[in-house]
């Protein structure tokens, strides 16, 4: 029997470009959708953009354009990003589409007609960025916990949805259905909110103040409050296409903890009032922090997914996101962690299994897939380690333990590498009498790779297809193929290609970080006393070759925003130096400046550009920089001793 899977991401506000947090939820749902498709389920995956409301109108104004032109452009930017990240959404909804607006108005009218919307006056503390009122209790030090901003007091005559009336009902739903909101911690948070009155929800804004919204069907002077409008996207996309009977009974929402209240309190009560059945699950994940800090434009630590996709490849990036966050908990993003994960799991474990298997197959069997001989206990153990995985992986995916699902597959890959080391095909190859045994071992490795490629396909669709092409498998695969061991065709040819996951040069990456991000670390670590390095001798110092140079050009680095590519004239020599001083000096300030160059530093590639030396600068505890120079003029190339 085919199961049905309907999953949604939040529809993202179009007042900012997509960042790693938006990408995470969307990739997560994409991965879940792909696993379900692989299992043969009937899948629908919905995402989209949230385009009405005060802050969008303000962003358009700031951009000097009309709201419609602005939302068209940013919504397209989200779609373009999702295309680059391999997102296979089935539906993309925009709240400015007429199909959505019509359904919002229908629902509003229905709820109004049954007496669940009333007119009244309300005053309270409002955060424009969240587009909602906060109770005193929800604030942290008087500020909105999401934005660290003081909310403003607002009082308005609005229409109110009688949300409080549905509080006992919602409480009961949560108490009788422990999986409605998962993981449990978030369910408990919502239950705690429901212990006290939740009040009624203001669902309109006066049109004269906020014209950018859906007009209330019975009062043209008011537009619909953005959350009442936005939440209905999950339903309107289906209903507008006659897909509600097929998918609505299976709906699961995926969100992060920031929007738990609108989804855990507003949305279920809205559904109840509108006579629409409740969702199956509200799945709530944690936040990606960046180097342990909250990501924000003002801190300047916003991580752009396309930069990482470009630097490390989409598949490796997707793998990292899923492997390194435990659903429900916060995780901290650090580029070095991403690189280490790629090296350990993808380049070392998986890449190595592929390379050594194809290498040996080429050497001993001309690259042709051999037949299995009789299986030993070790061969069977390898087989069972893989063929038992599809069910186990699907169980973890359904339970939202994506990290565990990937860890399980990687454990099997590690077991396959150990199997190679234990069986020693290179020894078997020396003895003609062991020919059938060698065939069996090599074939086992190929089958292990085939199974791994299927199990990892939803996370790394591009690379896993490449892997299969290298072992001679073409065409579509299904999850069940990974439950069977003898699926390759004996006698078919393998096609070794480029390594799937090139190793990331960690030293070079660390060097760019030291150059580019050093100032930040230094300012944080600044202690009142000077921290000295171990003592050196005059001989140690004599190893340094320091020379006077003149910067003759400063150009943008092709792969890194924070780096300059400098041309430095050192006597008769012209050097290229990649330097992380971009935040401190403009090109105009640099060209013509005399600098001190470490001239005998081993050249190193920094984000793809060869750097031949380093220029010296002084830095204070606040991260202010000043280039080291000379107090009177001496020719380029002079040595500094």
- Active site members: 19, 22, 127, 130, 144, 147, 294, 297
H/E stretch holding 619 reads: strand 617-619
**CA 460, CA 454: separation in Å to the nearest integer?**
10
Q: Taking CB under 6 A as the rule, which mask of x and - marks residues 456-485 in contact with ligand MSP? A: ------------------------------
Stated as kind and residue range, the H or E segment containing 410 is: helix 402-423
Give the list of residues 6+ apart from residue 527 with CB closer than 8 angstroms, or none. Answer: none
Count of residues touching ligand MSP (by CB under 6 A): 19
Among residues 212, 236, 209, 208, which one has the least CA distance to residue 226? 212
Q: Is 12 in the site for ligand MSP (CB under 6 A)?
A: yes
Q: Which residue is nearest to ligand MSP (CB)?
A: 21
Closer to ligand MSP by Cβ: residue 235 or 485: 235
Handedness of CA 170, 175, 177, 183 (dihedral sign): positive
Please list, residue by residue across 313-329, b when 16 or more beta carbons sit within 10 angstroms of its beta carbon and e when fewer do. Answer: bbbbbbbbbbbbbbbbe
Rounded Cα distance between 375 and 365, Å, is 19
43 near ligand MSP, rule: CB under 6 A: no
CA R_g for the chain: 30
Q: Where are the alpha helices (DSSP H) in 241-313?
A: 244-247, 260-261, 267-274, 305-312
| Residue 22 or 182 with smaller CB distance to ligand MSP | 22
Going by DSSP bridges, is the β-strand pair 573-579/331-333 parallel, antiparallel, or unpaired?
unpaired
- Does 181 sit near ligand MSP (CB under 6 A)? no
DSSP class per residue in 528-558: SSPPPPPP--HHHHHT--EEEEEEEEEEE-S
Beta bridge partners of 617: 627
Question: Three-state secondary structure along 428-476?
Answer: HCCCHHHHHHHHHHHHHHHHHHHHHHHHCCCCCHHHHHHHHHHCCCCCC
Residues 6 or more apart in contact with residue 242 via CB below 8 angstroms: none
Is 97 a residue that touches ligand MSP (CB under 6 A)? no
Binding status of residue 23 toward ligand MSP by CB under 6 A: no
- Our CB check for ligand MSP shows the closer of 21 and 461 to be 21
Q: What's the closest the beta carbon of residue 25 comes to ligand MSP, in angstroms? A: 3
CA angle 317/319/320 to nearest 5° reads: 65
Q: Which is nearer to ligand MSP, 320 or 564 (CB)?
A: 320
Residue 295 lies near ligand MSP (rule: CB under 6 A): yes
Binding residue (CB under 6 A) for ligand MSP from 6, 21, 400, 416: 21
Between 5 and 78, name the residue whose CB sits nearer to ligand MSP: 78
Cβ at position 74, least distance to ligand MSP in Å: 11
Which residue in 453, 458, 456 sits closest to 469, CA to CA? Answer: 453
> Measured from the CB of residue 614, what is the shortest distance to ligand MSP in angstroms?
34
Residue 299: CB minimum distance to ligand MSP, A: 12
Please name the residue that has the structure tokens 């009789």.
374
- Work out which of 5, 7, 22, 455 binds ligand MSP, going by CB under 6 A: 22
Residue 167 C-beta: closest distance to ligand MSP, Å: 21
Segment interacting with ligand MSP, rule: CB under 6 A, options 149-157, 252-260, 304-312, 462-470: 252-260
Strand partners, 368: 493
Tell me which residues in 256-275 interact with ligand MSP (CB under 6 A): 256, 258-259
DSSP string, 208-244: TT--SSPEETTEEEEEE-HHHHHHTHHHHHHHTTT-H
Q: Please pick, from the candidates 13, 161, 228, 585, the single residue that binds ligand MSP as defined by CB under 6 A.
A: 13
For 306-322, the DSSP string reads: HHHHHHH-HHHHHHHHH
50 lies in the binding site for ligand MSP (CB under 6 A) = yes
**Which structure tokens are listed for 458?**
């939803």
Compose the 72-91 pattern: x for residues touching ligand MSP by CB under 6 A, - for all others. --------------------
| Residues in contact with ligand MSP, shown as a per-residue x/- string from 491 to 520 under the rule CB under 6 A | ------------------------------
Q: Which is nearer to ligand MSP, 60 or 438 (CB)?
A: 60
Q: How far is the CB of 626 from ligand MSP (least distance, A)?
A: 35
Pick 225 or 372: Cβ nearer ligand MSP = 225
Which of 17, 97, 147, 287 contacts ligand MSP by CB under 6 A? 287
Q: Name which of residues 214 to 243 contact ligand MSP (CB under 6 A).
A: 230-231, 233
Cβ 514 to ligand MSP, closest distance in Å?
26
What are the residues binding ligand MSP (CB under 6 A)? 10-13, 21-22, 24-25, 50, 230-231, 233, 255-256, 258-259, 287-288, 295
């Amino acid at each position: 029997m085919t199961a049905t899977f309907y999953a949604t991401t939040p529809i993202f506000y179009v007042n900012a470009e997509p960042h790693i947090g938006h990408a995470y939820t969307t990739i997560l749902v994409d991965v879940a959708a792909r696993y379900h498709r692989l299992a043969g389920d009937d899948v629908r995956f919905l995402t989209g953009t949230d385009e009405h409301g005060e802050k969008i109108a303000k962003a358009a104004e700031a951009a000097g354009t009309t709201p419609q032109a602005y939302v068209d452009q940013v919504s397209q930017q989200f779609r373009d990003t999702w295309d680059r990240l391999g997102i296979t959404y089935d539906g993309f909804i925009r709240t400015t589409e007429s199909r959505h607006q019509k359904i919002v108005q229908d629902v509003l009218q229905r709820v109004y007609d049954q007496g669940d919307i009333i007119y009244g006056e309300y005053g309270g503390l409002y955060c424009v960025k969240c587009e909602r009122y906060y109770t005193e209790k929800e604030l942290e030090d008087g500020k909105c916990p999401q934005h660290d901003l003081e909310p403003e007091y607002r009082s308005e005559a609005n229409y109110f949805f009688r949300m409080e009336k549905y509080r006992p009902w919602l409480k009961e739903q949560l108490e009788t259905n422990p999986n409605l909101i998962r993981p449990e911690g978030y369910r408990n948070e919502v239950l705690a909110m429901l212990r006290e009155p939740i009040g009624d929800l203001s669902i309109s804004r006066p049109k004269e103040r906020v014209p950018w919204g859906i007009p209330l069907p019975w009062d043209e002077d008011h537009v619909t409050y953005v959350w009442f409008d936005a939440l209905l996207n999950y339903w309107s996309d289906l209903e507008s296409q006659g897909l509600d009977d097929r998918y609505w009974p299976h709906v699961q929402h995926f969100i992060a903890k920031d929007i738990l209240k609108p989804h855990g309190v507003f949305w279920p009560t809205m559904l109840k009032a509108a006579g629409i059945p409740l969702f199956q699950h509200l799945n709530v994940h944690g936040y990606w922090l960046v180097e342990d800090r909250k990501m924000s434009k003002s801190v300047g630590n916003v991580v752009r997914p396309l930069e990482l996709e470009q630097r490390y490849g989409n598949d490796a990036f997707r793998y990292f996101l899923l492997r390194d966050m435990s659903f429900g908990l916060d995780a901290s993003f650090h580029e070095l962690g991403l690189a280490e994960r790629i090296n350990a799991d993808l380049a070392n474990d998986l890449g190595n299994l592929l390379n050594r298997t194809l290498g040996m197959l080429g050497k001993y069997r001309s690259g042709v897939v051999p037949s299995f001989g009789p299986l030993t206990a070790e061969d069977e153990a390898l087989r069972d380690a893989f063929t038992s995985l599809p069910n186990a992986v699907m169980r973890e995916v359904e339970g939202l333990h994506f990290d565990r699902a990937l860890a399980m597959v990687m454990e099997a890959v590690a077991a396959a590498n150990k199997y190679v080391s234990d069986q020693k095909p290179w020894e078997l190859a020396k003895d003609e009498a062991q020919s059938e045994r060698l065939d069996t071992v090599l074939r086992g490795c190929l089958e292990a790779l085939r199974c791994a490629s299927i199990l990892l396909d939803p996370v790394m669709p591009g690379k896993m297809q490449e892997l299969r092409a290298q072992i001679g498998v073409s065409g579509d695969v299904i999850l069940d193929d990974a439950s069977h061991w003898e699926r390759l065709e004996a006698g078919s040819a393998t096609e070794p290609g480029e390594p799937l996951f090139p190793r990331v040069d960690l030293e070079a990456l660390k060097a760019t970080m030291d150059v580019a991000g050093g100032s930040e670390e230094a300012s944080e670590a600044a202690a009142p006393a000077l921290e000295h390095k171990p003592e050196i001798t005059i001989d140690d110092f004599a190893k340094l070759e320091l020379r006077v140079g003149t910067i003759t050009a400063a150009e943008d680095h092709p792969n890194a925003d924070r780096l300059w590519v400098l041309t430095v004239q050192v006597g008769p020599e012209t050097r290229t130096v990649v330097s992380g001083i971009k935040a401190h000096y403009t090109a105009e300030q640099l060209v013509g400046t005399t600098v001190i160059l470490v001239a005998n530093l081993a050249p190193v590639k920094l984000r793809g550009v060869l750097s031949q030396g380093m220029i010296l600068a002084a830095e204070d505890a606040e991260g202010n920089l000043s280039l080291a120079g000379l107090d009177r003029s001496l020719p380029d190339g002079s040595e500094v001793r």
